[in-house]
Chain A
Amino acid sequence: NAGVTQTPKFRVLKTGQSMTLLCAQDMNHEYMYWYRQDPGMGLRLIHYSVGEGTTAKGEVPDGYNVSRLKKQNFLLGLESAAPSQTSVYFCASSPQGIEAFFGQGTRLTVV
């Protein structure tokens, strides 16, 4: 039982490049979330999903897209990376929106 697994753990991108972050959970949770954490700040919600095939915007959705084609996976895409997207990205899952469990984070640097 791995919980919430994020891939990759580290990535460096050049401005304008695209990439996809993968979040996988093996707890059969309905809800999944993507957050970003900037230095000295709390986590801010980018997008979330309340079930397979659904997505919704959070607090800071601009510049990101998401997909939830399978219940266990939640993908976060950056179509054209910008330095302002340098951050640590966390994925979380939750059963029915109750207690949330987080992955280990992905450190992304855009140069």
Chain B
Amino acid sequence: GIQVEQSPPDLILQEGANSTLRCNFSDSVNNLQWFHQNPWGQLINLFYIPSGTKQNGRLSATTVATERYSLLYISSSQTTDSGVYFCAVASGTYKYIFGTGTRLKVLA
């Protein structure tokens, strides 16, 4: 099956700093999503981005499907950005496979 690797596993930032999270996947995919799991455990959809670039406020994402990776950019980080960021990919079987996540802590 598809393997999904996320890096870095842990990240600590000062408020206001920028960061880049990476998701590598081992095979071609039809779908890719980024999620934020907040400290209360909720999974929040950030981007549905099987290819190309999208932006939403301070967050943006880029997926280069041909090279099998996706990047999530967080600019001017805030304490509310803390939590775990997951990348999930799906191939033609429509089963989303999750990476193990990047745990982000933003310090005030």
- Interface residue ranges, A against B (CB under 8 Å): 31, 33, 35, 40-45, 48, 50, 58-59, 88, 90, 92, 94, 96-102, 104-105, 107
Q: Tell me the complex Cα distance, A20–B78, Å.
A: 39
Which residues of the partner chain B approach A45 to less than 8 Å between Cβ atoms?
95-97
Which among B35, B45, B96 has the highest number of chain A CB atoms within 10 Å?
B96
Contacts of B61 in A (CB 8 A): none
Cα(A59)–Cα(B42), bound, Å: 22
Asked if A48 contacts B33 (CB within 8 A), the reply is: no
Whether A43 contacts B94 by the Cβ 8 Å rule is no
* A96 contact set on B, CB distance < 8 A: 94
- Residues of chain A within 8 A (CB-CB) of B72 are none
Complex A-B, nearest 10 residue pairs according to Cβ-Cβ distance, in ascending order? A97-B94, A42-B98, A99-B48, A102-B43, A43-B98, A42-B100, A105-B41, A42-B99, A42-B101, A100-B96
Residue of B nearest to A107 (CB): B41
